[in-house]
Amino acid sequence: MEKKPIILVTSEQDYGAAMMRFAPYYNINKPYTHSITAVGGIPISPLATCMDDQYCDMADGLLLTGGKYDNHPGRYNTPLFR
């Protein structure tokens, strides 16, 4: 059986009023994950930044989705240009 590629998908963090504690939650646009699955991949959203190296080691690709907030270039060892 052929190994399916693992694709990391960025997500947006937002806050919800779960039990009025405004707990953080993560959003991923379903069409992104459905598209990856449709072509035989496995979408994974890395949520624990303390495991960045482990996620990168296991991933075959990265999908930067964009959204309300930009991903800070420093997370990807890229300088911030203005």
pTM comes to 0.66
pLDDT at position 79 is 62
DSSP bridge pairs for 8: 44, 62
The string of pLDDT tens digits covering residues 26-73 is 778 888 899 999 999 999 887 767 777 888 888 999 888 876 556 666
DSSP 7: E
pLDDT at position 81 is 56
pLDDT at position 5 is 96
pLDDT at position 18 is 57
**Quick check: 7 and 44 in contact, CB under 8 A?**
yes
pLDDT band, very low/low/confident/very high, at 15 (cuts 50, 70, 90): low
Structure tokens at 53: 């190296």
d(CA 66, CA 20): 28
